Amino acid sequence: MMNGAVAIYGGVGVMEIRQPLPQTVESMAQAVENAAVNAHISLRELKNTVATVIEKKLPKYAQLMEMHPVIVARTVVNGATLTAYENGYAVYEQDCAYTVMAIDRCGDYRYDFNDGTYEVVPDVVFEDAE
């Protein structure tokens, strides 16, 4: 409940705004729980937990947030946040920049070097990593 004052025709009145306390408490509890949930889940476990992304084109970050996705895992490493959602998307966030990716499409990782060569690390290396 919040109290406030409002001027009406030169006088002062008191205003009371009631907000549903159980919903507010529940949403705050969910936010706290989400901040630490499954921070140490492996990529294999994560892929088995989330939905498969059917769309070929990935949504922009704002579009993804409009879907109100449910968080299944979140971790912070060196100031960057990686959040995985139940709908199969993940967001990598650093310095207010966002990258959206489809979790089920995570596979081999290719490192490109300045001399034009590259090295591929197979996905099995990452499957059991957090």
At 76-88, the pLDDT tens digits run: 888 999 999 999 9
CB 108 within 8 A of CB 120: yes
Report the Cα 59 to chain-centroid distance in Å.
13
Report the Cα 45 to chain-centroid distance in Å.
17
Calculate mean pLDDT across residues 8-20. Answer: 49
Measured distance CA(129)–CA(122) in Å, rounded: 13
Number of helices followed by number of strands (H, E) in the chain: 4, 8
Calculate mean pLDDT across residues 57-69. Answer: 95
Q: 49-53, 87-91, 122-126: which range is least confident on average? A: 122-126
Mean of the per-residue pLDDT values of the chain? 79
Q: Higher-confidence residue: 40 or 91?
A: 91
Query: What are 28's two structure tokens?
Result: 């705050």
> What is the reported pTM?
0.65
Query: What are 14's two structure tokens?
Result: 């008191």
**pLDDT recorded at residue 7:** 46
